[in-house]
Structure 1
Amino acid sequence: MDTGGRGPAAPRTRPLLVVLFDGVQSLDVSGPLEVFAAAGHAHPGGAAYPLTTASLDGAPVRTQGGLRIAPDLVLADAAVEHTLLVPGGEGTRHPDPRLPAGLGEHGPRAERLTAVCTGSLLLARAGPLDGRRATTHRAHCDHLARLRPQVRVDPDPIFVRDGRIATSAGVTAGVDLALALVEEDHGRDAALTIARHLVVLLRRPGNQAQFSARSAAQTACREPPRELQQFITEHPAAALSVDALAARARLSPRHFARAFRAETGMTPGRYVDRVCLEHARRLLEDTSDGVHEVARAAGCGTAEAMRRVFATALGIAPADYRRRFHAPLPAH
């Protein structure tokens, strides 16, 4: 492109407005901001995402952890040129009515609306999520669905992008979402460099499920289900059929299956599938082992069985998962 002898055009800046309120989760604010700030290191002038913070009255806010944050501006006076970021926290449960109203006024002016964790509840109250697919922390998805039935709530992904609106699950998912936005704006190399600088992984796709096997299920209070949860997690390649697990628990298969479900909230087979998925995903991300080897090591048995588990939980084949998300970090 001809730049009239002036050299290449400077990369575009994308001003970022972060909304603050009493009871905000400090990590929902600082996690994404560290990603966006790191993007400025390679940007002329160090301002890839010029930052402004605002609260309803411009007064300092107290985070749910007790940290005091002083905003730059009154929300009504803040300009929104590109990205509006709404963090979550306890303060989203019963917010000042002026807060969603203010977001409703700012939302149409932003090129990109983002919410971290229960910040989705504030965006839902404000209206921009109507008719959109969105997510939040898995523990609050039912609340979001009841609060605004017009929102198409997806409880599984760690973040969701629907047009100009992006929403994420809990704290660390906000970092994943911020890295994805930097990758979109400045390319994968920039996002990988930031991930390396912050000692985080640029490997979690938005459609990766929020759960781990342990967090998806209740932890059993009694033995033998509790001991078997631990055994399954630590020995995914062992014989884990209901009959084999029941024999280990010294119970009949029927009695064991009933007790396991009562204690954990899911069937033994479902729990084993989750463990298989969790181990397989890590092996695909962190090793170069073939799909067949990964399937055996993760306890899925065969590559076909592992493909079924991935398709059900993530909507993607294991080989495609690796091709899309297994990328080495650049060398120093």
Structure 2
Amino acid sequence: MDPVRRVVVIGYPAAELVDIACVTSALVMANWLHGSAVYDVTVATPGGRPIECGSGLTLQAQATLERLNGPLDTVLVSGGIGHVDAAADHRLVAHVRRLAQESRRVASVCTGAGVLAAAGLLDGRRAATHWFQADDLAATYPAVCFDSEPIYVRDGNVVTSAGVTSALDLTLAFIEEDVDADLARGVARHMVTYLQRPGNQAQMSMFTSAPTASGDVVQRVVDKITADPGADLTTASLADEAGVSEHHLTRLFLHDVGVTPGRFVRRARTESAAHLLVTTGLTMDRIAGRCGFGSAESLRQAFVSRYGVSPSHFRRTQAMRPDGPSDVDALAVEVTG
């Protein structure tokens, strides 16, 4: 029988409760589905004191950070609005550094990466964190390469994740790595979430984070692109509809969105394809056609470039139902979508 893996989740005043609960709930669910203890999960805080989380709710600790000793399988630091004070707490940081040396794997969620950075555990490494805090953390810890894009980043035995619910993606990845993919899928289904987003999937989708445009022209074009990614969306056609030159439209996009119209269209089409892959049973050819790709191979190339995995792999690991939607479901989506 494999030994039980000791996992310590470190919280502190004004930590984010969701950061902690995503990890602890998924690991406890893994134990239940496995039928025996795979993980021994402990929440530790400075002094073992209860902490008032950023949400205002109080969380009881199970262990005193200062009294914990290894060996540990994983030590994970939560993020939260209290991360700056936590990173400035030299005693807390020292104990994080000590436990990291006694752990097989070190991890953080969200701005917990700032605490790892303060402990010197991220020097020379690439690290994920919440997109909103990435620039501030990068300025504070110049020895760390903070990346605001991925869901999570693995650099050696250190794994850092993006904001809040990405803690669940990170934990599902751990379960698959530690046990197997079937257990990770079972946990995901019971928690009613995607089976697992690829670690390098972008944190922010353009469909939920529309760019802030300085004028109506870019906003109208963005709305057109996201409303129908399969339409004729060449820069020439978009510029003609917007009543401006191609050069001027490109200049406006670079200023407001940070990419050219062509790159924005490609990203919109790829994200639209990702949605269809996990919510319908449409074939690759039909998805490629609906999303404006000339062929399934063009879709595959764009998908690998964007997400680092093939569309078929994405569908296999992200499917919302174990058996996938039926052909009738797919037809209904195509007719009514």
| Counterpart among 23, 36, 53 of residue 63 in structure 1 | 53
Percent identity between the two aligned chains: 37
Q: Which amino acid aligns with 1:230?
A: D
Q: 2:239, 2:323 → 1: CA distance?
A: 47
* Aligned with residue 206 of structure 1, among 192, 199, 203: 199
Give secondary structure in 1 for the equivalent of 2:185: helix
Answer yes or no: is the 8 Å Cα contact 1:208–1:314 preserved in 2.
yes
Query: TM-score of the superposition, structure 2-length normalised?
Result: 0.85
Tell me the secondary structure at the aligned position of residue 153 of structure 2.
Answer: strand
Q: Hey, what's the Cα distance between the residues in 2 that align with 1:262 and 1:163?
A: 37
**1:66 and 1:139 mapped to 2: Cα distance?**
21
Q: Give the corresponding residue for 2:3.
A: 12
The residue number in structure 1 matching 2:23 is: 32
Instruction: Quote the residue 2:221 is aligned against.
Output: 228
Instruction: Tell me the CA shift for residue 317 of structure 1.
Output: 4.1
For the residues of structure 1 that align with 2:296 and 2:35, how far apart are their CA atoms? 48
Q: Which amino acid aligns with 2:32?
A: H
Gaps of 5+ in 2: 325-337
Distance 1:288 1:192 in 2: 19
Partner of 1:263: 256
Is 1:299 the counterpart of 2:292? The answer is yes
Structure 2 CA distance, aligned partners of 1:160 and 1:178? 13
Kindly indicate whether the alpha-carbon contact (under 8 Å) linking 2:34 and 2:183 is maintained by their aligned counterparts in 1. Answer: no
Distance 1:25 1:246, change over 3 A: same
- 1:125 Cα offset (Å): 1.1
CA change 1:37–1:318 in 2 (3 A) is same
Q: 1:323–1:37: structure 2 CA closer, same or farther, 3 Å change rule?
A: closer
**Superposition RMSD in Å:** 2.5
Partner of 2:65: 75
Partner residue, 2:128: 135
Match of 1:272 in 2: 265
Measured in 2, the distance between the counterparts of 1:235 and 1:292 equals: 17
Letter paired with 1:123: L
**CA apart distance, 1:215:** 5.5
Q: Post-superposition shift, 1:305?
A: 3.8
Q: Which residue of 2 aligns with 1:86?
A: 77
| Stretches of structure 1 lacking an aligned partner (at least 5 in a row) | 1-8
Report the 3-state secondary structure (helix = DSSP H, G, I; strand = E; otherwise coil) of the residue aligned with 2:25: helix
State the alpha-carbon separation in 1 of the partners of residues 96 and 64 from structure 2. Answer: 13
Alignment-derived partner of residue 4 in structure 1: none
Do the aligned partners of 1:192 and 1:330 also contact (CA within 8 Å) in 2?
no
Partner SS state of residue 160, structure 2: strand
Q: Normalising by structure 1, what TM-score?
A: 0.86
Aligned-residue offset at 1:142: 3.0
Distance 1:106 1:250, change over 3 A: same
Query: 1:6: which partner in 2?
Result: none
1:217–1:266 CA contact under 8 A, matched in 2: no
- Deviation track 1:141-170 (CA, whole Å, cap 9, x = no partner) reads 333433334334444321122332211111
Q: Which string of whole-angstrom CA distances, capped at 9 and with x for unpartnered residues, describes residues 288-326 of structure 1?
A: 444333222112333454344334323344455456665
Once the two structures are superposed, residues 2-21 of structure 1 have per-residue CA deviations (whole angstroms, 9 ceiling, x without a partner) of: xxxxxxx3x43112211111
Residue identity opposite 1:249 in structure 2: A
Q: Secondary structure at the match of 1:295?
A: helix
Instruction: Tell me what 1:244 maps to.
Output: 237
Equivalent residue letter for 2:246: P
- Is 1:172 aligned to 2:165, yes or no? yes
Contact kept? 2:54, 2:81, Cα under 8 Å: yes
Helix, strand or coil: the match of 1:113?
A: strand
Conserved 8 A contact 2:230-2:292 = yes
Q: Hey, what does 2:334 align to over in structure 1? A: none
For 2:208 and 2:279, the matched residues in 1 are separated by: 22
CA–CA separation in structure 1 for the residues paired with 2:106 and 2:133: 20
Match of 1:100 in 2: 93
Secondary structure of 1:160's match?
strand
Q: Which residue of 2 aligns with 1:41?
A: 32
Give the distance between the partners of 1:188 and 1:304, measured in 2 at CA: 27
- Per-residue CA deviations over 1:42-78 (Å, capped at 9, x if unaligned) read 3455x43222222122222121121111212321112
| Residues 246-290 of structure 1, C-alpha deviations (whole Å, 9 max, x = no match) | 222233333333334333333222211110110122233344444
How far apart are the structure 2 equivalents of 1:214 and 1:234? 9
Distance 1:131 1:254 in 2: 40
Say if 2:168 is the partner of 1:191.
Answer: no
CA contact (8 A) 2:172 2:196 kept: no
Change over 3 Å in CA distance of 1:230–1:119 after alignment to 2:
same
